[in-house]
Amino acid sequence: MKLKVFRFDKETGESRYDTFEIETSTGMTVLSALFKIQEEFDDSLAFRYSCRGAVCGSCAMLINRIPGLACRIRIEPLLRCEGKIKLRPFSGMEETVSWDPENEVLVEPLPSLPKVKDLIVDMDKFFEFYREVEPTFKPASNPPEKERLMMPDAVNELEKYTNCILCAACVGSCPVSGKDGDFLGPAALAKLYRFHIDPREADDESRLMLANSKRGWWGCEFHANCKAVCPKGVPPIEGIGKARKEIKERGKETSK
């Protein structure tokens, strides 16, 4: 099979696609194929990875025009065109190069983030928006003698959002993030909602109002790509919708 890989040189600003023909093995992932290219054909190929177990989120990239984790996505199902996800059009989905999906796998960097080299993107702004929502626990009271008890339903609701591994696949697939560089993005908003609903935090609206703007809750257009591509099943649009409803009920909706 063939891998068609995006290449980019930040110093010159030039980009191209290189095609590599490799022998696949049963269960081979896209990340394994990239390692094979690096070891056998071109050691200058640059990509980001760490755990290789779909935990760290480092290897998120655009694979056959769908954002996902290279360490998790296997070659064989891709060539059989299995598990295709239908997404709303987003920046990076455009047909900029032709490829044969039955015989080739197209690998590109995540859209909506600045390119650094080949498949590596600059995550600085992504984490800047993440820090902007103050993603740290702010307890409502002094520490108890044992532990802060939580009801099972509250735990289950929290777990929907705590599973985020900050891979930025959701941002790469988000049409709003692609056209508005100031939008906080689905990952940051999902994390903000997670802390807002945590019953161990102070019972006030301070968390909710951190994103009460067009950059935050009100910037989302509910395309649902974020939920569809998340490797951990996090549903940012659900949290965003609930946050907007709560703000309306409080009579504090803003158009700014």
Task: Judge contact between 65 and 92, C-beta under 8 A.
Answer: yes
Range of the domain at 108: 2-120
Closest by CA to 174, choosing from 120, 223, 215, is 223
Q: What is the per-residue pLDDT across 7-43, written as a single tens digit (0 to 9) for each?
A: 999 989 999 999 999 998 999 999 999 999 999 999 9
Give me the residues paired with residue 6 across strands: 17
Please report the pLDDT score of residue 133 as a whole number. 95
In sequence order, the 6+-apart residues with CB closer than 8 A to the CB of 240 are 186, 189, 190, 193, 217, 220, 222
Shared domain for 157 and 221, answered yes or no, is: yes
Q: Which of 115-124, 140-149, 160-169 has the lowest mean pLDDT?
A: 140-149
Q: How confident is the model at residue 138 (pLDDT cuts 50, 70, 90)?
A: confident
Q: Which of 85, 120, 155 is a domain's end point?
A: 120
Query: In this structure, what token pair is assigned to residue 109?
Result: 């960097």
User: CA geometry: angle at 23 spanning 21 and 24, to 5°?
Assistant: 120
Distance (Å, rounded) from C-alpha 175 to C-alpha 177?
Answer: 6
Residue 255 has pLDDT above 70, yes or no: no
Shared domain for 96 and 192, answered yes or no, is: no
- Specify the pTM: 0.93
Distance (Å, rounded) from C-alpha 34 to C-alpha 192?
Answer: 34
Shared domain for 128 and 216, answered yes or no, is: yes
Shared domain for 175 and 200, answered yes or no, is: yes
Shared domain for 7 and 116, answered yes or no, is: yes
Identity of the amino acid at 115: K
Q: What is the per-residue pLDDT across 197-247, written as a single tens digit (0 to 9) for each?
A: 998 887 778 899 999 999 999 999 999 999 999 999 999 999 999 999 999
SS3 of the chain: the string is CEEEEEEEECCCCEEEEEEEECCCCCCCEHHHHHHHHHHHCCCCCCCCCCCCCCCCCCCEEEECCEEEECCCCEHHHHHCCCCCCCCCCCCCCCCCCCCCCCCEEEEECCCCCCEEECCEECCHHHHHHHHHCCCCCCECCCCCCCCCCCCHHHHHHHHHHHCCCCCCHHHHHCHHHHHCCCCCCHHHHHHHHHHHCCCCECCCCHHHHCCCCCCCHHHCCCCCHHHHHCCCCCCHHHHHHHHHHHHHHCCCCCCC
Distance (Å, rounded) from C-alpha 241 to C-alpha 56?
Answer: 27
Percent of the chain with pLDDT over 70: 99
Is 70 a member of any domain? yes
> Average pLDDT, whole number, for the chain?
93
Shared domain for 114 and 133, answered yes or no, is: no
Residue whose structure tokens are 């998340």: 230
Burial label for 82, CB within 10 Å (0-12, 13-18, 19+), is: exposed
Report the CATH number at residue 163.
Answer: 1.10.1060.10
Please report the pLDDT score of residue 68 as a whole number. 97
Is 197 a member of any domain? yes
Shared domain for 163 and 114, answered yes or no, is: no
Q: Which of 90, 120, 150 is a domain's end point?
A: 120
Domain count, the chain: 2
Q: Which of 120, 148, 178 is a domain's end point?
A: 120
Shared domain for 131 and 232, answered yes or no, is: yes
Is 254 a member of any domain? no
Please report the pLDDT score of residue 186 as a whole number. 98
